[in-house]
Amino acid sequence: GLKQRREVAGKSAIFSGEHFVLEETDWYLLNLFRLWWHYGISFLRLQMWVEEVMEKFMRIYKYQAHGYAFSSLEELLRSLGGEAFVNMTQRSVAESLLEVGVTQRFVDDVIAAVLRSSYGQSVLVPAFAGAMSLAGAQGSTWAVEGGNKLVCSGLLKLTKANVISARVTGISLHSSGEPGHGSGCTRVRGWWWQHGNGGHPHPGEAFGRGPEGLILTTDTPELFFHAVDNVCPVNVSAAFRRKQPQEAAVWRVLSRQPLDKAQLKTLFRSYYSVQVTEWPTYPRYDSAKALPPVVLHESLFYLSGVEWVASSMEMVAVAAKNVALLAYNRWHQELEKIDQKDLMHKVKTEL
């Protein structure tokens, strides 16, 4: 019953702290020419790399449709892309892209900007997480009319789940045996969503002129923000248009720290109000290497460990179904449905 939110036209750009290293225009062919002029065929090599990863990742839906489950994240990844997928959680996205012929300049300008706006981190994030983030930045994703939160509330309604609003502070085993080990998950804190109500972008200090859409930034130490954009409502009418830089609008700024008055003055000529939200979102990918377990103890499963592979709503949904299938198959002793090898051949045979 979910509907796609109407798309609102808007151009993107990448800011280095001194100038725009890349700007999108209204002309598709001109955009392609600029990409080729600055970066050669790096953008094509990037697209081919991402498409190859995503094509293999999509196998998980066939596996789950046939009831197969995995007892570890490593086994899940091996079933999709062999050891190459497991290795992609241990090496950086920059290393992987350079290996397939993407230039260092493209990594520094474009890849860094995308990862700063999505994960709030650098090109040192693992390759698999980077691939998922870059796939979402290629324009194939869409927003839900009424807000993406309707995905979660809709699923809760359909499953008739009993939601307990509480915070788990610890898990311990009180009978016998050794308790399972958690992931020691360190999350990126200080990923701030800062909304200015009725703000006017400053024409001089920051960009040299007002932004027209999404402004991404390169990994420049002097930059105090990661991205800024003119946000649209969750319900977009046919008559709605994106606000022009000189008009009052709601602007979103992503940064590691809340912006002080001087920084706000650098970005905006004036503003009516500021709302700040701390958003502990993604794992800090440089804080650990080993993937956390799925099974912590008998009948105790860890769902969010999948975020160390890649963090997104889709990944968590896949992990949730995997845990449900794993519990079901264990309960009914259907062990042939767990950690099976050569699944692509088995699924084709079943079809």
pLDDT above 90: residue 286: no
Q: Number of structural domains, the chain?
A: 1
Residue 297 in domain: yes
| Residue spans of alpha helices (H) in 112-255 | 112-118, 127-136, 149-159
To the nearest whole number, what is the mean pLDDT of the chain?
85
- Report d(CA 86, CA 155) in Å as an integer: 30
Res 169: pLDDT: 87
* The pLDDT of residue 183: 44
Q: Are strands 215-217 and 249-255 parallel, antiparallel or unpaired?
A: unpaired
Could you list the beta-strand ranges (E) of 180-294: 192-201, 215-217, 227-230, 249-255, 268-270, 273-278
222 inside domain? no
d(CA 176, CA 31): 63
Residue 156 pLDDT level (bands cut at 50, 70, 90)? confident
Q: Is residue 178 part of a domain?
A: no
243 domain-assigned: no
| Residue 306 pLDDT greater than 50, yes or no | yes
Determine the pLDDT at residue 279.
Answer: 82
Q: Write down the pLDDT at residue 327.
A: 96
Which H helix or E strand runs over 84? helix 73-87
Residue 274 falls inside a structural domain: no
**Amino acid, res. 178:** E
The answer to whether 131 and 54 are in contact (CB under 8 A) is yes
Q: Is residue 183 part of a domain?
A: no
pLDDT at 203: 38
Domain of residue 112 covers 19-158+283-350
Residue 268 domain-assigned (yes or no): no
Q: What is the pLDDT of residues 75-84, one digit of tens each?
A: 999 999 999 9
For 4-30, the pLDDT digits (tens) are 888 877 788 999 988 899 998 888 899
What pLDDT, on the 0 to 100 scale, is given for residue 238?
A: 81
Residue 339 lies in a domain: yes
pLDDT of residue 182: 44
Residue-wise pLDDT tens digits, 224-246? 999 998 888 888 888 887 777 67
Checking if the pLDDT of 202 tops 60, the result is no
Instruction: Over range 300-329, report the average pLDDT.
Output: 92
**What confidence tier does 211 reach under pLDDT thresholds 50, 70, 90?**
low
Give me the pLDDT at residue 30, please: 92
Q: What is the pTM of this model?
A: 0.83
